Structure 1
Amino acid sequence: MNRLSRRLLLFTCALALAACATSAGFQNLENPAVQPTQGAFKIWWRFLVAEKVGTVPVDPVPLRPLNRATLDALDVNANHVIRLGHSSHLLKLRGKYWLIDPVFSERASPVQWAGPKRFHPSPIALDELPPIEGLILSHDHYDHLDRATIEALALKVNRYFVPTGVGARLQTMLVPAARIQEFGWWDSGTHAGVQLTATPSQHFSGRTLTDRNSTLWASWVIQSGEERIFYSGDTGYFPGFKEIGERFPGIDLALMENGAYDPYWPAVHMTPEESIRAFQDLKAKTLYGVHNSTFDLAFHPWREPMDRLAALAAQNRIDLATPVIGEVLTLGKPRSNELWWSKLR
């Protein structure tokens, strides 16, 4: 992609981001401490003219390739989380496969000729995925809801679990309405032995310049057997984390957003310091940073979210999981925790 195409696409993204501050439709919970998003002109101008430094890795991002044999060999009595990149994860929950916010396309963009390009391939090809029991979406932004991925999986996923309003999006992507279940905040349901609850987050939604906040955004609590997984989705820091932790005590693993933050849009993405605070509010056992290492979506260096989170976790004696792309994390089992990014450029 040439520089002009990149700038034009980032300009479009900036328009969408700036619109979130004043849009009607679904709204975030009241948060007196929320910091305002910068004005539209400032965001537009910055995306158009500001130079980025170190936002894309020079060295290859390490990756562990996956195949069906490896996945099928995983213990069917345990719960496994496999990092696919960015916020995309494949889960094997007591023998059944699930996906969270799967994006397999080359770019997180409305078009594939321009937009943020992957730093690394997916550790498993889309057509090699096993049958998927359930697919969970946090919201409708392009780096979380990918049309090509959904269209390829449309009839291969048994059930889709999405925030209110996102079901209509999926139906335009060939997903049958009968396979979709929409959730408002605090709605719960059970499927294939897994209990799901959509919980609040502080973000916004929309895929064009005219549909701001027309669909809901959410975090999720996923319970399989006696173990609980929390997925933050995209979110700024807000007091709701404490309530989630109170309603769902004993979260074993918290997949917390940690990337694409910026002082220009502090309300919709968390800094590493805020990710730590939110994790502490949840009173979860293990922290797992997501929303980094795959796409260039902000102005901070690509390694910065992980460097800061690791340092803060050590200072606060927090159990931090640091899987490489393609690594399997099995809840309750020992794991390697190397800081795999630390020596990369």
Structure 2
Amino acid sequence: MSTMSCSTQSLDSGYEQSPQFRQGKFQNGDDVSAAGLAKLPKIIWRYMFEKSNAAMPEKPIPLVNIDMASLTGKQGQPEIYRLGHSSLLLNFSGNIWLLDPVFSKRASPFSWIGPERFHPLPFELDNLPDIQGVIISHDHYDHLDRETIEAIADRVEHFVTPLGVGKYLQEWGVAQEKIHQLDWWQNIELGALSLTATPAQHFSGRGLTDRDETLWASWVIQSEQHKLFFSGDTGYFDGFKTIGERFGPFDLTIMENGAYDKDWAEVHMTPEQTLQAHLDLRGKALMPVHNGTFDLALHAWYEPLERLAELAQAQWVPLVTPKIGEALPLQELYTTSPWWRATADIQVSAAL
């Protein structure tokens, strides 16, 4: 593992030294590739004819409104808040960090079409306080949102991204000295946090011609008191065991759990794989994300949560599923309620 700050490095070149950059593109460790354009007609057909009737909730997703004004004054135990999909807020004694913030109405390059939110934000964007740092896992629209970055840029001290992703931030007005780009296994110390970019099995691209021009990553987030793992988007691979051996055990793993399918199994995990990855990482409590906000797959919106809840119960894994906006103290990762069952208004277990 190497330690570095990349704020003075070119943001869109110089990747040739990265072991992940081969034949002009970033690649997964075992050269695993995501489904390409050849599968697109089949996937479109399946979206037309195999879509779940419960792809979107019929009742409102429960929300807890966050009093943003109170966050910076908190000097107690660190807290984590789910903001929707894979967006999270970490409050370390008044120092605010955001993970993959996407606050727009749609996860899309367009404002008029594309996956639309099931629920509003649990706070007013204008009330967001100063932010010590933003951590980005990769460049897909449901994890990197231009409108959000432009709205918060002046309030953020540091942006931490995988290699190449910083070029988008700079194009959108973020000062280069705020941007830190890391390769897998590189580390940076910012304030009271130690951040390490770790491997993931995914892909990148925001259009038809820029496939894998930027890197994707998972993240190890360490404070003096706590150690967290954030998976970003990833398929299941043996890298979880390696990360667990190097950095585990983790107090909390924040794991992708949603938008999976047989046609893109290499780059998104089923609930069974999510649980196994958590075990590989030597995690204590497990928080599932990448669900409950956008319709990005063919399964029912509640299916990832319910399947994982049943699996975790069977293997005695503490599962934490806070409502959107609910404060979760990291020191006391209490049992949370399966809020999706009432929202789905059906006997979910029997339906699966």
Structure 2 unaligned residues grouped into runs of 5+: 1-22, 345-352
Which runs of structure 2 are paired with 1:1-345 in the superposition (5 Å)?
A: 25-30=25-30, 39-48=39-48, 50-72=50-72, 74=74, 76-333=75-332, 335-345=334-344
Cα distance in 2 for partners of 1:330, 1:131 equals: 21
- Compare 45-54 and 278-287 and name the one that shifted more: 45-54
Instruction: Give the direction of change, closer, same or farther, for the CA distance of 1:60–1:185 in structure 2 (3 Å limit).
Output: same
TM-aligned CA deviation for residue 336 of structure 1: 4.5
Structure 2 equivalent of residue 3 of structure 1: none
1:334, CA displacement in angstroms?
A: 5.1
Which residue of the partner structure matches residue 18 of structure 1? none
Is the partner of 1:154 in helix, strand or coil?
Answer: helix
Asked if 1 retains the 8 angstrom alpha-carbon contact of 2:185 and 2:199, the reply is yes
Measure the CA separation in 1 of the matches of 2:192 and 2:72.
Answer: 19
Relative to structure 1, the CA distance from residue 138 to residue 188 in structure 2 (aligned partners, 3 Å threshold; closer, same or farther) is same
Letter in 2 for 1:133: Q
Offset at residue 31 of structure 1 (A): 7.2
Contact 1:31 1:238 in 2 (8 A): no
Distance 1:298 1:29 in 2: 25
State how far apart, in whole Å, the 1-side matches of 2:142 and 2:59 are: 23
Q: CA deviation at 1:35?
A: 9.2
| SS of 2:309 mapped into structure 1 | helix
Q: CA-to-partner distance for each residue in 1:155-192, whole Å, 9 max, x for gaps? A: 21000000000010111111111100000000001001
- Offset at residue 71 of structure 1 (A): 2.3
8 Å Cα contact 1:201/1:234 also seen in 2: yes
Instruction: Output the CA distance in 1 between the equivalents of 2:291 and 2:85.
Output: 5
CA distance in 2: counterparts of 1:235 and 1:133, whole angstroms: 26
What TM-score comes out, normalization by structure 2 length?
A: 0.87
Check whether the contact 1:116–1:297 (CA below 8 A) recurs between aligned residues.
yes
| Aligned counterpart, 1:7 | none
Q: How far off is 1:337 after superposition?
A: 1.1
**Using the alignment, how far apart are the partners of 2:246 and 2:177 within structure 1?**
30
| AA of the residue aligned to 2:276 | R
Question: Would you say how many aligned residue pairs link Structure 1 and Structure 2?
Answer: 321
CA distance in 2, matches of 1:73, 1:111: 37
Q: Distance in 1 between matches of 2:124 and 2:35?
A: 40
- What percent identity do the matched residue pairs reach? 51
1:190 partner SS: strand
Provide the C-alpha distance between the structure 2 equivalents of 1:263 and 1:319, rounded to a whole number of angstroms: 27
| Conservation of the 8 A alpha-carbon contact between 1:24 and 1:213 | no
Question: In terms of mean alpha carbon deviation, does 76-85 or 59-68 score higher?
Answer: 76-85
- Hey, what does 2:7 align to over in structure 1? none
Report the equivalent of 2:5: none
* Native 8 Å contact 2:34 2:202 kept in 1: no
Give the distance between the partners of 1:80 and 1:326, measured in 2 at CA.
Answer: 11
User: Which segment is superposed worse, 271-280 or 90-99?
Assistant: 90-99
Deviation at 1:68, TM superposition (A): 2.3
Task: Single out whichever of 305-314 and 121-130 deviates more from structure 2.
Answer: 121-130
Q: CA offset at residue 77 of structure 1?
A: 4.2
Amino acid of the residue matched to residue 269 of structure 1? H
Q: Is the 8 A contact 1:31 1:239 kept in 2?
A: no
Q: Does the CA-based 8 Å contact 1:286-1:319 persist in structure 2?
A: yes
- Per-residue CA deviation, residues 187-237 of structure 1 (Å, 9 max, x unaligned), is 001001100000000000000000000000000000011310100000000
Letter in 1 for 2:319: L
Is the Cα contact below 8 Å between 2:71 and 2:94 reproduced in 1? Answer: no
Question: Letter of the aligned partner of 1:80 in structure 2?
Answer: E
For structure 1, list consecutive stretches of 5 or more residues without a partner in the other structure. Answer: 1-22
Superposition CA RMSD, Å: 1.8
Greater mean alpha carbon deviation, residues 310-319 or residues 76-85: 76-85
Q: Which residue identity does 2:88 align to in structure 1?
A: H
Provide, for residues 100-134 of structure 1, a one-character-per-residue CA deviation record: whole Å limited to 9, x for no partner. Answer: 00011000000110110000001012211110000
Q: Which AA in structure 2 matches 1:278?
A: A
C-alpha separation in 1, matches of 2:82 and 2:57? 18
